[in-house]
Amino acid sequence: MKSANAITKAERILGGLWGALCGDALGVPVEFRGRTSVQADPVTGMRGYGTHGQPAGTWSDDSSLLLCTAESLVAEEFSVEDLGERFVRWQREGYWTPHGTVFDIGMATSRALRRVAGGTPAVEAGGMGEYDNGNGSLMRVLPVCLRFAGARTERLVQSVGDASRVTHGHRRSVMACVFYAFLVRALLDGAGREEAVDAARRDFGIEYGESCGGQGEAFGRLLGGGFAGLVESEIRSSGYVIDTLEAAVWCLLKGEGFAETVLRAVNLGEDTDTTGCVAGGLAGVFYGLGAVPGEWREVLARAGEAGVLFARLAAECSGEPAGAEFILE
């Protein structure tokens, strides 16, 4: 494995994108299974069928919407309306699905996309109620985090927030995406894991103040000094956005290497694909593309198409060449 200083920005970006897809696909076969059940037969690599009856390397709605987001950023730089249109196309036509059909979609996302299709401005479509705080925007926001990591903080926060609001408009969901963006930014700059989490906490505090914009209770554990010392039984892995964010950050801090980090996330059980996707994005940015197992990437559905898209986005985000050599190793 390369030393942290030897990993280029393009390799970190590509590592994050591929890492998210791999984490998602690792989790799909065991989604909704409880922790005890999953850990009795732990995931150790790509496997097929299981919960959704899909072949190995199949990713879920998480990656479909992440890919739609990446494509939108390449085409438009950033347009919330374009995001909404691509998401609706995914829901209605199976666009950027692994095998042509949508086999999984969250209720909040489904309701929001119906609003977009009905003419609601995309930035206003996401639900804003207490029960609209699933992880459906956190799971797909990584490309926006990467695209605006080098921009002014105001631009990063606004872009990430608007991207969340297409499907999840509650302040808590938006803030979870912003914390993730701050963490991705620090990792992209080459910070160590603990250093990056501390930087995200600092930036989050500056952005939202001591009260966390009225969401202090929700973010209290993540922002507290004892978070890294929590044991697995204290980490929840449901579809609630705070649970997913906490689980992903905890796995990043506890894991040793990309594969161990992502497998740890998936084997927490419950919302395995999204926990794997969000943790895989963080671990991929930290460890770089070279740490994402080639045998995992190669089995992914539509790997060639995803690789071309990721190379284009990485080049735009980093200003570094990211040609065919980055697509599959």
Using one digit for the tens of pLDDT, what is the confidence trace for 183-192?
999 999 999 9
| Structure confidence at residue 1 (pLDDT) | 56
CB neighbours of 131 closer than 8 A, spacing ≥ 6?
none
Q: Which pair of structure tokens corresponds to residue 325?
A: 């050599």
pLDDT confidence band for 329 (50 / 70 / 90) = very low
User: Which tokens sit at 110?
Assistant: 């489904």
The domains found in the chain, sorted by start residue, are 10-47+57-322 (1.10.4080.10)
Question: Whole-angstrom Cα distance, residue 180 to residue 300?
Answer: 25
Q: Coil, helix or strand for 250?
A: helix
The tokens describing 288, both together, are 């770089």
CA dihedral 3, 303, 42, 27 (to 10 degrees): 110
pLDDT digits (tens, 9 = 90+) for 44-91: 999 999 999 999 999 999 999 999 999 999 998 899 999 999 999 999
CB neighbour list of residue 88: distance below 8 Å, 6 or more residues apart: 113, 116, 117
Q: What share of the chain is helix, strand, coil (3-state, %, to 5)?
A: 65, 0, 30
Q: Where are the alpha helices (DSSP H) in 77-139?
A: 80-93, 107-117
What is the C-alpha separation between 247 and 222, in angstroms, rounded?
10
86: amino acid identity, one letter: R
Which residue did the predictor score with more confidence, 327 or 183?
A: 183
Determine phi and psi for 275, rounding to 5 degrees.
-60, -40
pTM of the model: 0.96
Higher pLDDT, 83 or 320: 83
7-57 tens-digit pLDDT: 999 999 999 999 999 999 999 999 999 999 999 999 999 999 999 999 999
Residue that has been written with the tokens 């995914």 in this structure: 90
Q: Which own/partner pairs from 74-82 qualify as long-range (CB within 8 Å, at least 24 positions apart)? A: 74/309, 74/312, 74/313, 74/316, 77/147, 78/144, 78/147, 78/148, 78/159, 80/121, 80/122, 80/123, 80/162, 80/163, 80/165, 80/166, 81/121, 81/122
Output the CA–CA distances (angstroms, integers) from residue 299 to 176, 196, 303, in the order listed. 31, 31, 7
